[in-house]
């Protein structure tokens, strides 16, 4: 068991990668064999994510190191006594393990939802291959301890995500969205690459811990930070760099929209890792925190107001997903703005922002799955042309209400728990922030009341089948359970998993560096 | 267009094709000693395939470069690379189990400047072969897929 736990970080990347390349071969044996194989890979990966999380949270979020390809540590000692970190390392702390849990949850439910979703369509084999590749890339971004590998995994997710967004090549809109996302993701990747190059040129290392210990906060460092901030904010879909997100989430097959949200969150994680662990207090965190807060307020407000005027159900949920990225940015931005003085409310804001990542993944995933069910039943994405689904789909309508209320932050669902932490802490910094955040949540409720009224209420329509098959129902119910359980017992989860994750960013910089370079 | 290019191009292709293959395989095989490696060598081999396609057209090579076979080989290359990573999992993923073992590619490496020992490197040369297989078949499959796409557009 310990051996498995020790190898869990690399297996989380290697097993989905193995799945990605083996799926096309297994797919030749038939649909049943392929689905069994994909399900097995997804389950094993999720089990390793759970194992890793149990290990990391068992040691209260303290970082763990995994060195690829060697047993004698990863430094090469020089005669001068210095040690140059050259090996490829994976470094997992509370935050990384927390993100791995989110990814595992969404990947597992997404894969199982897809089994029924793709039943009547062809070409599913390559779809699963891309899904596994995307999963491997996301895990890589979350677990790596090396800037260049971060860039490599970022590109892997970009390529796989473009394939998934443009997967339905027979649709013109899908092709267009895929192309748009390809262009913008490439741009984001180049920004990150240039920044990594600037850091490497100055300090001669790519290891995050080594760079963090060497950073001086020079002008070139600030330029690199600006490039990283722009590139990752673009990939996360923060306003004003969100223009790809509605197309991407809207055009991807419904189960993949949820995984794409997990992908955006991984970029957000990268941004937080860079701000807190790589740069820390070498830069003026106050100004930077306020930049994040302004981005966050824009994202929240623009996302919600754009969602309000949509008539296409997938685009509507896509804009709501964009607005939720803003809440995470707001929480962590408030934390960053005050991280020099480290008052209590800053830590609460971090907890809120980080907790909201998990909550958002669960409820936006649920909503995307429900939208897939709705589109499948009615054959349209136009809200004006659907209605009366509650007559034939009682359970689906209940699940939709759970997801929508959770996203809008209505108690007792999980969205309320994390949003409340964010409201409370941002109010301490400036009441104006809390006002915008609460107002937008209320608008979000209005958005989903509109969807509920349009899709589920009204006269029964002809030609609508009954309830969805079991294969789609189980993943949706699983996500709904997460939404409810995290909403009913937020204290337990905040203590057990959110606090170690927030700790890792807020206080964990020295431990992160010390584990690699010794001392600390 | 599909029938290929002029006699001059086809004759030169016949001459160059073998050389390009040999050079590509050399780059893969000596990847652990000289500049290059699996990716670069695989790209050289794939360029030889592309040369064939350009010179003889899709009709000319019909049946000799099978799209599905190439894809299968590509996946096998990727899986072989991962398998070589898993071989060392007793110590760490990608641990070089064969290095200095005395068996295949396990020769000892002398200290100091030397001309390079071919029988060294452990799993590295094998990984180069795996990557080489993946890249040569992958790029060839992409070129063929693009050719098929272009032909469809022509006929439409």
User: What pLDDT shows up at residue B132?
Assistant: 94
Alpha helices in A309-413 (DSSP H): 313-337, 344-378, 389-392, 394-408
User: What pLDDT shows up at residue A108?
Assistant: 94
Collapsed DSSP state (helix, strand, coil) of residue A379: coil
Assigned token pair, A285: 């965190």
Residues of chain B found within 8 Å of residue A169, distances taken between Cβ atoms: none
A169: contact with B, CB 8 A cutoff: no
Q: Of the ranges A481-490, B40-49, B81-90, which one carries the lowest mean pLDDT score?
A: B81-90
Closest-CA distance of chain B to residue A380, Å? 30
Interchain proximity B91–A25, CB inside 8 Å: no
Contact by Cβ (8 Å): A350, A331: yes
Mean pLDDT, rounded, of chain B = 85
Domain ranges of chain B: 7-107+119-155
The complex's ipTM works out to: 0.87
Search chain A and give the residue with CA nearest B72: A25
Question: Rounded CA gap, B38 and B130, in Å?
Answer: 7
Interchain proximity B82–A17, CB inside 8 Å: yes
User: What pLDDT shows up at residue B149?
Assistant: 76
Collapsed DSSP state (helix, strand, coil) of residue A434: helix
Question: Rounded CA gap, B141 and A375, in Å?
Answer: 35
Assigned token pair, B43: 């790209």
Reading chain A (520 residues) residue by residue, the pLDDT tens digits are: 688 888 899 999 999 999 999 998 998 888 888 889 999 999 999 999 999 999 999 888 888 888 887 765 555 655 655 566 677 889 999 999 999 999 999 999 999 998 888 766 666 788 899 999 999 999 999 999 899 999 999 999 999 999 999 888 888 888 899 999 999 999 999 999 999 999 999 988 888 988 998 888 889 999 999 999 999 999 999 988 888 999 999 888 888 899 999 999 999 999 999 999 999 888 888 889 999 999 999 999 999 999 999 999 999 999 999 999 999 999 999 999 988 888 889 999 999 999 999 999 999 999 999 999 888 888 888 888 888 888 888 889 999 999 999 999 888 899 999 999 999 999 999 999 999 999 999 999 999 999 999 888 888 777 777 778 888 899 999 999 999 999 999 999 999 999 999 999 988 888 888 888 765 4
Helices A94-117 and A254-272 sit at what angle, rounded to 10 degrees? 170
* β-sheet bridge partners, residue A146: A207
Phi and psi angles of residue B90, each rounded to the nearest 5 degrees, phi first: -60, -35
Quick one: which of A383, A392, A418, A440 has its CA closest to A490? A418
Interchain proximity A69–B78, CB inside 8 Å: no
**Residue B35, pLDDT above cutoff 80:** yes
Which one of B88, B93, B142 would you mutate to disrupt binding with A, by most A Cβ within 10 Å of its Cβ?
Answer: B93
Contact by Cβ (8 Å): B79, A18: yes
Q: Write the DSSP symbol of residue B32.
A: T
Question: Rounded CA gap, B98 and A344, in Å?
Answer: 54
Question: Rounded CA gap, B107 and B117, in Å?
Answer: 8
Q: How confident is the model at residue B97 (pLDDT cuts 50, 70, 90)?
A: confident
Question: B19: Cβ–Cβ under 8 A, 6 or more apart, which residues?
Answer: none
Interchain proximity B79–A22, CB inside 8 Å: yes
- Evaluated on CA atoms A489, A476, A167, A134, the torsion sign reads positive
Assigned token pair, B146: 């693009």
- If contacts are CB pairs under 8 Å, which of residues 438-467 in chain A contact chain B? none
Question: Rounded CA gap, A216 and A212, in Å?
Answer: 9
Helices then strands, counting H and E runs in chain A, come out as: 21, 4
Interchain proximity B93–A10, CB inside 8 Å: yes
Question: A442: Cβ–Cβ under 8 A, 6 or more apart, which residues?
Answer: A408
Q: Write the DSSP symbol of residue A478.
A: H
Assigned token pair, B147: 């050719």
Interchain proximity B91–A14, CB inside 8 Å: no
How far is residue A343 from each of residues A11, A414, A428, measured CA to CA in Å? Answer: 38, 25, 10
- If contacts are CB pairs under 8 Å, which of residues 18-57 in chain A contact chain B? 18, 21-22, 24-25
Question: Rounded CA gap, A255 and A441, in Å?
Answer: 25
Question: Rounded CA gap, A265 and A267, in Å?
Answer: 5
- Evaluated on CA atoms B52, B58, B62, B67, the torsion sign reads positive
How far is residue B2 from each of residues A14, A364, B49, measured CA to CA in Å? Answer: 42, 50, 16
Contact by Cβ (8 Å): B26, B19: no
Question: Rounded CA gap, A44 and A42, in Å?
Answer: 6
Interchain proximity B72–A25, CB inside 8 Å: yes
With the CA atoms of B38, B44, B45 and B51 taken in that order, what torsion angle do they form, in degrees rounded to the nearest 10? 160
Assigned token pair, A141: 């971004």
Contact by Cβ (8 Å): A373, A472: yes
Question: A388: Cβ–Cβ under 8 A, 6 or more apart, which residues?
Answer: A456, A457, A458, A459, A460, A461, A464
Search chain B and give the residue with CA nearest A28: B72
- Tell me the average pLDDT across B124-136: 92
Question: Rounded CA gap, A200 and A189, in Å?
Answer: 16
Chain centroid, CA A258 distance in Å: 9
Assigned token pair, A359: 């909550």
Interchain proximity A70–B82, CB inside 8 Å: no
User: What pLDDT shows up at residue B63?
Assistant: 67
Collapsed DSSP state (helix, strand, coil) of residue A64: strand
Contact by Cβ (8 Å): A168, A253: yes
Contact by Cβ (8 Å): B132, B41: yes
Question: Rounded CA gap, B47 and B21, in Å?
Answer: 9
User: What pLDDT shows up at residue A520?
Assistant: 41
User: What pLDDT shows up at residue A59?
Assistant: 87
């Amino acid at each position: 068991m310990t051996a498995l736990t020790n190898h869990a970080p690399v297996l989380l990347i290697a097993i989905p990668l193995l799945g990605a390349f083996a799926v096309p071969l297994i797919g030749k044996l038939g649909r049943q064999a392929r689905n069994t194989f994909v399900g097995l890979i997804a389950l094993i990966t999720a089990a390793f994510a759970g194992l890793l999380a149990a290990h990391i949270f068992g040691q209260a979020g303290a970082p763990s190191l995994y060195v690829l390809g060697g047993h004698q540590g990863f430094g090469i000692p020089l005669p001068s006594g210095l040690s140059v970190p050259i090996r490829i390392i994976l470094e997992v702390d509370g935050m990384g393990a927390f993100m791995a849990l989110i990814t595992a949850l969404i990947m597992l439910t997404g894969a199982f939802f897809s089994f029924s979703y793709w039943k009547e369509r062809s070409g599913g084999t390559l779809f699963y291959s891309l899904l596994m590749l995307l999963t491997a890339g996301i895990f890589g971004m979350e677990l790596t301890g090396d800037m260049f590998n971060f860039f490599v995994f970022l590109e892997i997710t970009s390529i796989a995500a473009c394939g998934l967004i443009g997967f339905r090549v027979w649709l013109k809109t899908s092709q267009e969205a895929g192309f748009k996302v390809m262009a913008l993701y490439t741009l984001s990747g180049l920004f990150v690459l240039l920044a990594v190059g600037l850091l490497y040129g100055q300090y001669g290392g790519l290891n995050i811990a080594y760079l963090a210990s060497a950073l001086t906060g020079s002008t070139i460092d600030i330029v690199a930070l600006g490039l990283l901030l722009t590139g990752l904010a673009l990939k996360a879909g923060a306003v004003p760099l969100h223009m790809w997100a509605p197309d991407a989430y809207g055009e991807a097959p419904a189960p993949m929209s949820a995984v794409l949200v997990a992908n955006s969150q991984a970029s957000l994680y990268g941004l937080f890792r860079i701000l807190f662990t790589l740069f820390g207090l070498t830069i003026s965190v106050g100004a930077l925190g306020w930049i994040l807060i302004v981005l966050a307020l824009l994202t929240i407000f623009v996302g919600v107001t754009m969602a309000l005027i949509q008539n296409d159900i997938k685009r509507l949920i896509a804009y709501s997903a964009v607005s939720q990225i803003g809440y995470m940015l707001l929480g962590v931005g408030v934390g960053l703005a005050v991280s020099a003085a480290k008052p209590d409310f800053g830590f609460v804001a971090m907890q809120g922002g980080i907790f909201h990542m998990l909550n958002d993944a669960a409820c936006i995933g649920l909503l995307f799955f429900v939208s897939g069910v709705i589109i499948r039943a009615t054959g349209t994405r136009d809200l004006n042309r659907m209605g009366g689904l509650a007559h034939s789909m009682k359970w689906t309508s209940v699940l939709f209400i759970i997801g929508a209320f959770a996203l809008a932050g209505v108690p007792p669902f999980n969205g309320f728990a994390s949003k409340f932490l964010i409201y409370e802490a941002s109010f301490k910094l400036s009441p104006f922030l809390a006002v915008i955040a609460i107002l937008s949540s209320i608008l979000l409720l209005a958005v989903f009341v509109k969807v509920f009224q349009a899709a589920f209420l009204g006269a029964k329509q002809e030609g609508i089948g009954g309830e969805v098959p079991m294969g789609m129902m189980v993943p949706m119910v699983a996500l709904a359970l997460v939404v409810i359980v995290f909403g009913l017992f937020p204290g337990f989860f905040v203590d057990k998993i959110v606090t170690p994750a927030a700790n890792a960013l807020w206080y964990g910089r020295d431990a992160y560096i010390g584990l690699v370079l010794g001392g600390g | 267009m599909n029938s290929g290019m002029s006699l001059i191009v086809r004759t030169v292709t016949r001459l160059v094709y073998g050389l390009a293959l040999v050079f590509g395989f050399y780059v893969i095989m000596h990847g652990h000693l000289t500049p290059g490696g699996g990716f670069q060598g695989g790209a050289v081999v794939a360029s030889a395939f592309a040369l064939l396609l350009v010179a003889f057209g899709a009709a000319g090579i019909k049946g000799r470069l099978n799209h599905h076979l190439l894809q299968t080989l590509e996946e096998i290359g990727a899986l072989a690379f991962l398998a070589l990573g898993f071989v060392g999992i007793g110590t760490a993923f990608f641990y070089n189990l064969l290095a200095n073992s005395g068996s295949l590619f396990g020769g000892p490496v002398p200290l100091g400047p030397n001309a390079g020992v071919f029988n060294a490197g452990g799993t590295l040369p094998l990984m180069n072969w795996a990557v080489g297989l993946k890249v040569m078949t992958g790029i060839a499959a992409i070129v063929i897929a693009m050719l098929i796409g272009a032909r469809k557009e022509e006929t439409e």
